[in-house]
Structure 1
Amino acid sequence: MLEKGKIGSRQLTILVILYTVGDSILVIPSIVASEAKQNGWVSGILSVAIAPLLVVFLYDALRKCYPDLTLVEYSQKILGKWLGIAISLLFISYFFISTATYLREIGDFMTSQIMPDTPIQVIMFLFMSIVLMSARLGLEPLARSAEILFPFVVILLSSLIILLLPEIKFQNLQPVWEGGLKPVIRGSIPFIVFPFIESVAVLMILPFMSQKDRIRKSLFVGQLLAGSVLIIITMLAILVLGVDLTAKEIYPSYKLAQKINIANFLTRLEAILAIIWFITIFFRFSLFFYVTVLGLAQTLKLQDYRPLVFPFGMILLVFTLIMAPNTVYYSSFILDIWPFYAMTFGFLLPLLLLTIAKVHKK
């Protein structure tokens, strides 16, 4: 086995919370509000009521067919060697492109909101360096660091929510149910896809769980808590900023944090939100990069994935810089194309693998 580390059920739950919140905490309110308007929070509740159950039961049923193998390994068991390798490479390409989108988001956010005079290449290189170090250390240190940083995320997030309470305007939720159910359903689609369906990467790390009987509970609790956080942030964005500004802003959550004003003394505490986002997207980015190199090493039958870390990191850095010529093009790709791409790899292909595996076992 290429990865010798083990993670516990608590560590898995925390990892799931952090990578599910991931980049979504910054962008989900805008995407959902543009579709569901002031009922975006209803889209969130609908999504969290459906997606964790759907995703967790699918992934848990699939991993139970081959509990000691990763997604890449049992794809070849289920589909045969050559077709299995082809599907494995498709999954790896999905993980790779996903990782590139996270790196691009980091660069775009930093250069547009925090460090506009710093070249995007420098920011990407620095963040990539940290992720390369994390990948070389392996899964267990990543899970332990998540366990250490999680309390800080909880404290910062709780502080942010409490400090925003005086800024709430309940009239921003009116009129309720304007436009009926259709906009709410449209708004729930990105809420399902971006945080939850992209969790397919977890199928690459479940064999390394030390308590396999608790996997389903850890996944479900993690996704449910992460979804609740995203619902709260979406509702706060609408309540404080209003639906028009929430839908117009690329990073409404960051704008939200700028609204904090306590007696004209505590103001512009957007650093709180930025720190939360840096932590959560780091774990999402690191996990996806880790499963990319691990999956490729398993497909190529290598004894160790670590020799792939640095060259793949450099390839990823170059690919990220050329994948989209500008932010507008990138945003269009993410909103119009990515949901279908993610749904294919995060739901349809795993469902197909599960169906074929069940037929084989009969």
Structure 2
Amino acid sequence: MAGFSRKETYSVREAGRISAFQAMNYEISIVLATAILFVPSIAAQHARQDAWLSLSLAGAFGALVTYIAARLALRFPQETVVQYTPRVLGPVVGKLVGFIYVYYYLYVAYFVQREFSELVNTAYLPRTPMIVVIGLLTLLAVYVLYQGLEVLCRVNTVVLWTVVAALLLVIALGIKEVNLEELLPVFENGPGPVVLGAVAPGSWFGETAVILMLMPFICAADRPRMVKFNLLAVLILFLLMELIVVSAIGRFGADQTATKLFPTLSLARHVEVPTLPIFSRQDALFMVFWIGGMLFKLATFFYAGTLGLAQWLNLKDYRPLILPLAVVITALAVQSWANITDLKSFTSEVFPFSITFVQFVLTGTILLVSIIRGTSGRPARGGAENDKA
């Protein structure tokens, strides 16, 4: 397949570049936005008080996935995974695998839409139709896509670290209520539940494999550092999620954490500072920044799926696909799950395995085949010129 040249790719509002640091922040945001919702309860369902150990296994698996993805992306630094798979796997199989990646990105996008609407409808707007909540977030994501990747990444850097500060504030204000004895005894039920509890968090950590679509837009001088920055992203995510899981189990106990729909939101709601009432009930602060994180995550995967489909179809511009695909993923978000219970079961039993197949199995296979066959990136037309841009 004749892939897009870099000149063609960047003609669709991607003339700018992002740094390795911005890419790392981007990867942290897209994982953190949804992982903080369900990871504490899903890990606690399986591992109980050992959920914090499950996070350690999940972090190790996430590091492996992100390392594989970064190494593969560095073999083809001027192209996305959709562009080079036909050269690595052959025109027929490569096109099929490329389409799987396109669907994967859109699949995560409509999953994010439904997650967002379920929390907002359940916790704040129970009488508002789901389609209204999803539609508003999707319209914002459409606007972001028309602005381009560079704008998205620059704004995300500010929002991300504000979100991290808000999370740390919630944890710090509630630390007096955390009883570390709730984390004992260790390995009460053996290692099996710990492994099961690591499946869902590990798959979310693996979402940093989005580097497969970001690499062509990272400054050429920064690309060799992306393995290090990807691993650093997983480390930061692990530390944040570990703090949240320990705080949730220490505050509510393993049984309550496992049954709560949104343990992190409950942590924010239970903050009480009698001497400083302004710091009590931080759920409003949590929601403000969480909505921003969800918007960036939706925009990221929607962008990757839209750009990937345009490349898969050999189009020169992805923008005509934005509105039709927005309608498609919105319809899928509304129809794919019956209710929040169905969504939560899907989140723990189906979603982790489906995305891990793409992130780990497919990506690892492409990397292995490319090494065996000696296939790597080739200079694209206009490449030098674009690297100086």
Map 1:245-264; keep pairs closer than 5 Å: 245-263=256-274
**AA at the equivalent of 1:20:** V
Alpha-carbon distance in 2 for matches of 1:56, 1:269: 33
Q: How does 1:148-187 map to 2 (within 5 A)?
A: 148-187=158-197
- Partner residue in 1 for 2:154: 144
Structure 1 unaligned regions, length at least 5 = none
TM-superposed deviation, 1:176? 2.6
2:334 aligned residue: 321
Say which of 283, 293, 299 aligns to 1:270: 283
Residues 58-137 of structure 1 mapped to structure 2, 5 A cutoff: 58-137=68-147
Deviation of 1:152 after TM superposition, in Å, equals 1.6
Residue 197 of structure 1: aligned partner: 206
Answer yes or no: is the 8 Å Cα contact 1:52–1:224 preserved in 2.
no
- Per-residue deviation, 1:172: 1.5
Q: Is the CA contact (8 Å cut-off) linking 1:21 and 1:227 kept in structure 2?
A: no
Report the equivalent of 1:29.
40
The whole-number CA distance in structure 2 between the counterparts of 1:96 and 1:151 is: 26
Q: Distance in 1 between matches of 2:43 and 2:83?
A: 36
DSSP 3-state at the match of 2:134: helix
Kindly indicate whether the alpha-carbon contact (under 8 Å) linking 1:72 and 1:88 is maintained by their aligned counterparts in 2: yes
Tell me how far apart the structure 2 counterparts of residues 352 and 81 of structure 1 sit (CA, whole Å).
16
Match of residue 7 from structure 1: 18
Q: Does 1:18 align with 2:20?
A: no
Whichever residue aligns with residue 340 of structure 2, its letter is: T
- Distance in 2, matches of 1:85 and 1:149, equals 36
Which whole-Å CA distance do the structure 1 matches of 2:260 and 2:236 have between them?
A: 25
- Where does 1:234-249 land on structure 2 (aligned, <5 Å)? 234-249=245-260
Query: Over the residues paired in the alignment, what is the CA RMSD in angstroms?
Result: 1.5
**Aligned with residue 54 of structure 1, among 64, 80, 90:** 64
Deviations 1:317-353 (A, max 9, x none): 1121111222222222222222221111110001111
CA shift for structure 1 position 199 = 2.8
2:216 maps to amino acid = P
* Alpha-carbon distance in 2 for matches of 1:107, 1:291: 22
Matched residues in 1 for 2:91 and 2:240: separation?
42
Give the structure 2 partner of residue 291 of structure 1.
304
**Structure 2: 5+ residue runs without aligned partners?**
1-5, 376-389
Code of the aligned partner of 1:235: V
Contact kept in structure 2, 1:20 and 1:223, CA below 8 Å: no
Contact 1:44 1:230 in 2 (8 A): yes
Q: Check the 8 A contact 1:29/1:233 in 2, yes or no.
A: yes
Instruction: Look up the equivalent residue of 1:247 and give its one-letter code.
Output: A
How far off its partner does 1:62 sit?
A: 1.0
Which residue number in structure 1 is paired with residue 383 of structure 2? none
Superposed displacement of residue 69, structure 1: 1.0
Match of 1:338 in 2: 351
TM (norm. structure 2) is 0.89
The one-character-per-residue Cα deviations of 1:87-132 (angstroms, maximum 9, x if unpaired) are: 1111111111111110000111100001112111111110000000
| Distance in 1 (alpha carbons) for counterparts of 2:147 and 2:125 | 29
**TM-score, scaled relative to structure 1:** 0.95
Contact map agreement 1:25 1:277 (CA 8 A) in 2: no
In the TM superposition, residue 231 of structure 1 has moved relative to its aligned partner by 0.9
Within 5 Å, give how 1:205-224 maps onto structure 2: 205-210=214-219, 211-224=222-235
Q: Paired residues, what number?
A: 360
Indicate conservation of the 8 Å contact 1:200/1:345, yes or no: no
Separation in 2, partners of 1:76, 1:213:
24
- Tell me if 1:301 matches 2:314: yes
